[in-house]
Amino acid sequence: MRKLFVPFAFLAGTTALACSIQVGTNKPANQPAQQAAATPSTVAPKTSPAPVPTPKVTGTPIGALRFRRPGVTPTLPSGTATAPAGSATVPTTPGTPAIMTGTNAFGSGTADMNGFAGYVFPLPAGHTKLPDLTTMQPTGVLFAQTLNVTQRAMTGGFPGIDATRNENFAIHWEAPLVVDNEADYTFRISSDDGSILKIDGMTIVDNDGNHALAEKSGPVHLVKGTHAITVDYFQTTGNVALQLFCKRGTEAEIVCPTKL
C-alpha cells in the first residue's frame, strides 16, 4: 500500500487559509463588545449655556452728573462749613433748590467733597415706580458721605426744604466714583421703596417699585479712573431705607464709598 506524504508546510498553510475563510464567512451574530464600543455615538454632546458677560464701563463722563457742575459752589446756610471748590454743587438755573439746614435720616446740609449730593423731589401720592427725575426740578439738596439708611420711620422731614415731608418724595443721589483698582465689582442695593443704581449712565442694579424692604445686586467691571455714580430713590408711605453696598472680586462687602 502506498503512503501519501503531505508536506508539513502545506498543511500549515492550508489550515491558516481555512481559518481565514471561516472568520470571513461565519461572522458571529452578536457584534463583539470592543467593536460596539468603537461605534461612534449619535447622541449630541451636552453644551453649557454661554456665560452672561459682566457689563464694563470705561469712560470718565463726570458730565453725566445732572446737577454737579465743576466750579459752581452752593451758598451754604449761616454757620455751615464752606464747601471746597468743585465739591457738591447746585444748578444755576432759576429755582435753585434750598440746602437742607439740619439733619435727617438721609444726611445733612454740610457738603462733603468725597460724598454724595442728594436732590429732593416732592411726589404726588400713588407712585408705584420712580418717575423720570430728569424732567423735574428739585426743591432742595442734602449731602451724605455714604448711602447707609437702615429701615426706620421717617420723621422731621427735610429741614429748610420741607420739614413736614416724610412721605411721597424722591431723591436723586450723585457723586464722582474714583476707581484706583480696576476689577470686577458687585453692587447691592437694599431699599424701601424703589431704587436704581447707574454708573456712567448704565443701569447696574434695578430695585424699582413700590415695595417693602427688598434688595438686588448687579456686577460691573470698572476700569481705573473717575466715573459718575447715581442712585435714584423714592418713598411712598411707611418706613424708609436705602443702603448701597459693594465689593471687589471675592473680597468682603462694605458700605460703598466713592473711592474704590
For residue range 106-128, list pLDDT tens digits in order: 999 999 888 999 999 999 999 99
Q: Whole-prediction pTM value? A: 0.70
Q: Distance of CA 160 to CAs 4, 100, 137, Å?
A: 132, 5, 17
Residue 95 confidence (pLDDT): 63
Res 7: pLDDT: 42
User: Distance between CA 83 and CA 68 in Å, rounded?
Assistant: 13
Cα 191 to Cα 148: distance, rounded to the nearest angstrom: 10
Pairing of strands 254-255, 240-248: antiparallel
- Report the pLDDT value the prediction gives residue 28, as an integer from 0 to 100: 45
Look at residue 74 in the predicted model and tell me its pLDDT.
33
Write down all domains in the chain, each with its CATH number in brackets: 56-74+86-255 (2.60.120.1560)
Q: Which residues contact 228 (CB under 8 A, 6 or more apart)?
A: 61, 62, 63, 64, 65, 174, 176, 177, 199, 200, 201
pLDDT, residue 97, reads 87
Q: Could you give the CA distance from residue 221 to residue 57 in angstroms, rounded to a whole number? A: 6
Residue 19 amino acid letter: C
**Greater confidence, 235 or 71?**
235
Q: Residue 112 in 3-state DSSP?
A: coil
Res 220: pLDDT: 96
Reported as a single tens digit per residue, the pLDDT across 57-102 is 655 444 445 554 333 333 323 333 333 333 333 343 446 889 999 9
**Lowest mean pLDDT, pick from 14-18, 100-104, 196-200, 226-230:** 14-18
Looking at per-residue pLDDT, the higher value among 47 and 214 belongs to 214
What the block records as the C-alpha cell of 22 is 471561516
